Amino acid sequence: MSSTSLPDPLSEDTDSPSGWRVVGGAHALTAVTFGSAYAFSAVFPGLSEEFAASRGEIALVFSISAFVFYSLGAIAGALADRWSSRAVIATGLVAMIIGYIGASQAQTLVSLYVWYGAGVGLGIGLSYVPALGAVQSWFVLKRSRASGIATAGLGLGTLLLPFTIGRLVPELGWRGCFIGLAVVIAMIGLPAAILVRKRQGDKTSIEPRSNDRPSPFTVWRNSRFRLFFVMLVLASFSTFIPYVHIVPAAHDVGLSLESGTILIALIGIGNIFGRFVLAGLGDRIGSLRLLAILTFAVAGSFLLWSVANGIAMLVLFALLFGMSYGGCVGLYPVVAADLFGVRHIGTILGYLYTAVGVAALLGPTMAGLIFDKTGSYLGPILFSMAAAVAAGFLTLRLREN
């Protein structure tokens, strides 16, 4: 009898209770890592004042870290596929803790670029894709729901940490807040990493059992991958701009720092709804169809921002943007798993998320530089809306291929 016909003693069932523990760990990880990163907007004014820097120069601090953490996913996903997801994630979290501590002592803008960019970049880069890849491996029937709940941690973190940091900045300063974020990562992130692991064995998979992991050149020859990659660049260009610039933009229309951080919290509330509720609808109506709808909704949210001149319209923008963007991010790994399978999902997600890294590097920095030249965010807002519309149409094409 062939050895391939024997049951695998290490095999674990899909959609099992063990998978939901992994979802819980990934939820906590995304909450503390992305929540701390998106608290950057709350310290934006303090950094600008401390270093006498323009908005473009300060936005570059975040953009460098975002470029690192999404670009690094291509390496982290492959490492997690080959070795232990827990070890890769824990390594990233330790780097993130060190990065925040180093950034808190920065005396120049360049040193802030290095400590914050490298530390936060490594932290999320080595944790996000391995955690999402582990979640995808555990589910088939409830994959959209599981992915939505796992990534909903991002919304919860965005709800809690930026608002908390905004309240603490007057008391602790941005340096003390960076130390506080390092403590949060150590107290919550490291224990959560213990829960994350990929499913062992696969008795039901119909994918070929090849040990050869796809190279970037191999996946790029796939027309669906190329289309998905371009769609992600366009869709992601706009999504980081609110997280970095909404607080200074709120200040420009006469609102306080606290009001600006409340807007970030509202994005977090919408984000939680988008991931818990909207992303789960993909199991019913189809993940690609839902992704296209939500991408067009992101474009609609930027239309609201373009005409906002006070708190009411900014609140509507924050809620709609949070819901639609949250649902999209919850669906990206689901769509990737549906299109390319789960055997090397960490590697595939890592390659795809380099597109988000490119957009993250360009979006917030360009918005800051354009503001420095024009004194207005209108140009970046309208460009973001157009990019999201184009991404929505590309998603429809992806559905047709």
pLDDT at 279: 67
Q: How far apart are CA 376 and CA 305, in angstroms?
A: 12
Q: What is the tens place of the pLDDT at every residue in 340-365?
A: 876 777 778 778 888 888 888 888 88
CA angle 276, 278, 280 (to 5 degrees): 65
pLDDT at 93: 94
Mean pLDDT of 33-47: 88
| Both tokens assigned to 176 | 């003390």
Give 207: exposed, middle or buried? Use CB within 10 Å, 0-12, 13-18, 19+. Answer: exposed
The length of the chain, given as a count of residues: 401
pLDDT at 13: 65
pLDDT at 280: 66
CA atoms within 13 A on the CB side of 119: 25
Whether 230 shows a pLDDT value over 60: the answer reads yes
Whether 10 shows a pLDDT value over 60: the answer reads no
CA 241 to chain centre: 13
H helices of 11-139, in order, are: 17-38, 40-51, 55-71, 73-82, 85-104, 109-125, 128-138
**CB atoms closer than 10 angstroms to residue 8:** 11
Higher pLDDT, 273 or 382: 382
Closest-CA residue to 130 (of 186, 87, 187, 95): 87
Closest-CA residue to 268 (of 155, 154, 150): 155
Whether 205 shows a pLDDT value over 60: the answer reads no
Whether 245 shows a pLDDT value over 60: the answer reads yes
Q: Is residue 278 helix, strand or coil?
A: helix
Residues whose CB is less than 8 angstroms from the CB of residue 64 and which lie 6 or more positions away in sequence, other chains included:
113, 116, 117, 121, 361
Look up residue 329 and give its amino acid.
V
pLDDT at 370: 92
Q: How far apart are CA 314 and CA 306, in angstroms?
A: 10
Residues whose CB is less than 8 angstroms from the CB of residue 202 and which lie 6 or more positions away in sequence, other chains included:
8, 11, 343
Max avg pLDDT among 144-148, 149-153, 177-181, 260-264: 177-181
CA 244 to chain centre: 14
Please name each of the domains of the chain with its CATH number.
Answer: 15-200+216-400 (1.20.1250.20)
Whether 162 shows a pLDDT value over 90: the answer reads no
Q: Is residue 398 helix, strand or coil?
A: helix
Closest-CA residue to 178 (of 93, 114, 251, 115): 115
Confirm if 375 and 84 have CB atoms less than 8 A apart: no
| Both tokens assigned to 290 | 């839902």
| Both tokens assigned to 138 | 């555990």
Mean pLDDT of 237-241: 85
Q: Phi and psi dihedrals of 277, rounded to 5? A: -105, -55
pLDDT at 400: 65
Closest-CA residue to 123 (of 196, 42, 189, 195): 189
CA 302 to chain centre: 19
Please give the C-alpha separations between residue 161 and each of 23, 168, 177, in angstroms, as whole numbers.
Answer: 21, 10, 10
Confirm if 302 and 241 have CB atoms less than 8 A apart: no
Q: What is the tens place of the pLDDT at every residue in 15-24?
A: 677 788 889 9
| Both tokens assigned to 254 | 């006469």
User: Alpha-carbon Rg of the chain, whole angstroms?
Assistant: 20
Confirm if 120 and 99 have CB atoms less than 8 A apart: yes
Whether 284 shows a pLDDT value over 90: the answer reads no
Q: What is the tens place of the pLDDT at every residue in 319-337?
A: 999 999 888 887 888 888 8
Please give the C-alpha separations between residue 138 and each of 8, 75, 152, 196, 285, in angstroms, as whole numbers.
Answer: 16, 22, 17, 11, 21
